[in-house]
Structure 1
Amino acid sequence: MEFTFTTARLLIQTEFAPLVSIFVLMAFIKTNVSFSDSTNRSFLLACGAAILLTCSDSMRFITAHMDHPTIYRYISAGAGYALRPLILFRLTIISSRYKIRNKFLMAIPIVFCTFISILSIFPFAHGLMFSFSDDNKFVRGPFGYLSHIVSLFYAFQVVYYSLKNFMYNKFEPVIVIIMEIAAFTATFMENRYKYDFVLSQVMISSIIFYYFFLLTQTFKRDTLTHFLNRRIFYLELKHLLKDPFIILSMDLNNLKVFNDTQGHAAGDKAIITVTTEMTRTFSKYATLYRTGGDEFMAIFKKSSISEVVNLVSVFQKNLEKTEYQVACGYASYTPGDDIDKIISLSDERMYENKVNLKQNKNI
């Protein structure tokens, strides 16, 4: 197959939109200050790998239809085998929120896969991972499935770390699983039915979708606690008014004292300590929000008042092991109630509990 106008038109029709999309994303990343530099850098590296993968797939498409193998056939194959798991490796780093204990061990599979992939391009290593017969037919070598295995390993890592974030974001594992089902389907289609360009396009779509999903979370969540913010609390309330629920108001006592006497680092430590305990106690039953500096709210959709009271008792008892106190107050909403009055009632009971805490009484 020669590179004709028809071939060029097919490649442009297939690859133009994905490439434009990924370049636009890269421009957006360069102007975005919502993420840390390391997160933006990882996304840029994933984008760069996706662009190279698209180019290598285009080269593979052209050279695969030639009468005999060329060096470009080997280059495109080696690049494809190295770049696919590399993209998943970068997504693993991102999904872990940079909390991987041993990054060196985590990088060993991709380093080894990349080494074997590049080595297989050279004549002395033909057949190690792949080779091509005289009539340009693909021949899988002893390391022929290495890229697939490494990709699968990192794919599971992305799911694992997204599940670790489940307490803070229940939708991230769903998004990740959808992305990976699409990638596995695309891999099957490429290998079983010889569909070209499907996997690279799915990977580009996944990078873009995952980036903007995480970006929306930065506008919905408090950066210190990862709780949903005040704006989302009131927006979500509007969608809950048709069903009964219980609101729990919480206030961290003496936060200003910690900030003024020990510095803001001490205040942050207090907030992190109490919100960690909130997450441990309430997250299975309620959605948590940070609505102010020392103010927090929880919405219980399926719990009874007695269950909420018991959970608050457990929460405040656990805090006795620390130097912090959190005042709590609850109110039950039924459809037709004035939600503002329910919130005010919850706040009033919380302020009453402040007094009770000073007298060593519970809610």
Structure 2
Amino acid sequence: MMGLSYFWIDGGTYLGFIVCITLLMFILIMRSFDLKLRRKFTRVAMAMIIALAAGALELGLLAKGDTSTLIYAALLLKYILEGYMEIAVIRIVGRDYKKIQSKLLWIPFIVISILICTAPVNPSVFYFDSTLGLFVRGSLGYSIFIEAGFYLLVGLCICVKKWFTGYQRDALIILFMLAVVSTGVLLEEAYIFDNCTLTSSSIGVLFVYVYMYAERYNVDSVSMCYKRRCFYSDAAKYAKQEMAIISMDLNDLKYINDNYGHQAGDVALLTFAEVCRSVKTNKFILYRTGGDEFMILGIKSSQKEAENLISIIKEKLKETPYTCSFGLHMYKPGEDFEEAVVKADKAMYDDKHIYKSNKNKQANKRDDRFDEKVQSFSNDIDFFDEGE
């Protein structure tokens, strides 16, 4: 029977276990997350615990000079679980992008896993020198770094995508996690710390989990825009700078909810938010401040830039069944911000009055066209299945 003496548990490995157990405790206690997202984090945490145990067993057996099949099994299990964690975490942080949820993303993991499983009969992957008690990586053994590099590149692409669509904080958190894990890989491969890859990964994943849990209080779950509290918080933060305040109201949302159901209304809200994110620059921050109400703060933006953004959003909305009323006010430092918002809202209501007047003049024609567009429109949004 195998005892604990076969496991080599140093300070770093112990820290990894503690971090993973802490993550599991957070998942168990903080139950406000979507169930599927919690399950994904749970699977990652369990995979890390098993991989840490496998790594500790491999180091313990190697220290005893045991190069039997068991040491190969332990290291293979560790490598396979590390690969699984790479893709699982990438799918979590990229859960808003359908391409990241594609099953094709599993191909590198599957191919590399099959390749390294040949190690017991293929020394070109890796082998253990029983005489010197050393692990020796063959040329094919470096394939695990190709796999890691591929998922690192995917993670960087997610960072870039989030950065240029207004989620700079998300991008920085993901970049931090990638940097922590990459540093762990380098330290382990340089034989500075054992099991450092897994320990670093556990810290990075815990950091992402806590950030995502905290951020859900700031981000609207339907439109993925920042909430009303963030609007006023950012306004106070940039109060000494000129800002464009763009007030927006999605037209006919009540009509959509009443006639097509609230899921269709959710599709309308998210589609509008996606349109805004797809055309705005980083100096414009998007918020959902009410049921059908959105706001944009243009930090240090000119009136011409704000008007140009409104025109582009209107043009882009023509590709959808939806329309929106807009109001713009240019805030100056020292001006009462609440009054500035009221002025932007008044301009928006004036625009909505014009919209309703035109709509009433050709009500039947407008409704027929709208019904036809809504019934045929799809932006492939699925709110209830984040992908397994």
Query: Shorter-chain-normalised TM-score: which range?
Result: 0.7 to 0.9
Deviates more, 1:198-207 or 1:101-110: 101-110
The 3 A distance-change label for structure 1 pair 283 and 31 is farther
The 3 A distance-change label for structure 1 pair 330 and 49 is same
Q: What amino acid does structure 1 have at the position aligned with 2:128?
A: F
The 3 A distance-change label for structure 1 pair 52 and 323 is closer
Task: State the partner residue of 1:115.
Answer: 114
For the residue of structure 1 that corresponds to 2:190, the secondary structure is: helix
Instruction: Say whether residues 1:344 and 2:342 are aligned partners.
Output: yes
Among 58, 73, 76, the alignment partner of 1:75 is 73
Moved over 6 A (4+): none
Task: State the partner residue of 1:131.
Answer: 127
Deviation digits for residues 113-132 of structure 1, max 9, x if unmatched?
33333443x4xx15152111
How many residue pairs get aligned? The number is 354
Extract unaligned runs of 5+ from structure 2.
359-388
Q: Partners of 2:310 and 2:109 in 1: how far apart?
A: 47
Q: How does 1:166-181 map to 2 (within 5 A)?
A: 166=163, 167-181=165-179
Task: State the partner residue of 1:38.
Answer: 36
Work out whether residues 79 and 118 of structure 1, in 8 Å CA contact, stay in contact via their aligned partners in 2. Answer: no
Task: State the partner residue of 1:106.
Answer: 105
Deviates more, 1:253-262 or 1:311-320: 311-320
For the residue of structure 2 that corresponds to 1:77, the secondary structure is: helix
Sequence identity (%): 26
Among 268, 275, 282, the alignment partner of 2:280 is 282
Shift of 1:190: 1.8
Work out whether residues 93 and 174 of structure 2, in 8 Å CA contact, stay in contact via their aligned partners in 1. Answer: no
Work out whether residues 328 and 349 of structure 1, in 8 Å CA contact, stay in contact via their aligned partners in 2. Answer: yes
Q: Partners of 1:182 and 1:107 in 2: how far apart?
A: 23
TM-score (structure 2 length as normaliser): 0.82
For the residue of structure 1 that corresponds to 2:172, the secondary structure is: helix
Q: Partners of 1:106 and 1:319 in 2: how far apart?
A: 32
Among 329, 332, 335, the alignment partner of 1:334 is 332
Q: Partners of 1:240 and 1:77 in 2: how far apart?
A: 53
For the residue of structure 2 that corresponds to 1:57, the secondary structure is: helix
Q: How does 1:133-148 map to 2 (within 5 A)?
A: 133-135=129-131, 136-148=133-145
Deviates more, 1:143-152 or 1:193-202: 193-202
For the residue of structure 2 that corresponds to 1:300, the secondary structure is: strand
Instruction: Say whether residues 1:306 and 2:304 are aligned partners.
Output: yes
Work out whether residues 168 and 226 of structure 1, in 8 Å CA contact, stay in contact via their aligned partners in 2. Answer: no
Deviates more, 1:98-107 or 1:332-341: 98-107
Work out whether residues 13 and 194 of structure 2, in 8 Å CA contact, stay in contact via their aligned partners in 1. Answer: no
Q: What amino acid does structure 2 have at the position aligned with 1:165?
A: K
Q: Partners of 1:210 and 1:111 in 2: how far apart?
A: 25
Q: What amino acid does structure 1 have at the position aligned with 2:238?
A: L
Q: What amino acid does structure 2 have at the position aligned with 1:132?
A: F
Q: Partners of 2:106 and 2:309 in 1: how far apart?
A: 42
RMSD value over aligned CA atoms?
2.8
The 3 A distance-change label for structure 1 pair 314 and 359 is farther
For the residue of structure 1 that corresponds to 2:63, the secondary structure is: coil
Task: State the partner residue of 2:375.
Answer: none
Deviates more, 1:26-35 or 1:324-333: 26-35
Q: How does 1:224-239 map to 2 (within 5 A)?
A: 224-239=222-237
Work out whether residues 79 and 117 of structure 1, in 8 Å CA contact, stay in contact via their aligned partners in 2. Answer: no
Q: How does 1:172-191 map to 2 (within 5 A)?
A: 172-191=170-189
Q: Partners of 1:116 and 1:280 in 2: how far apart?
A: 41
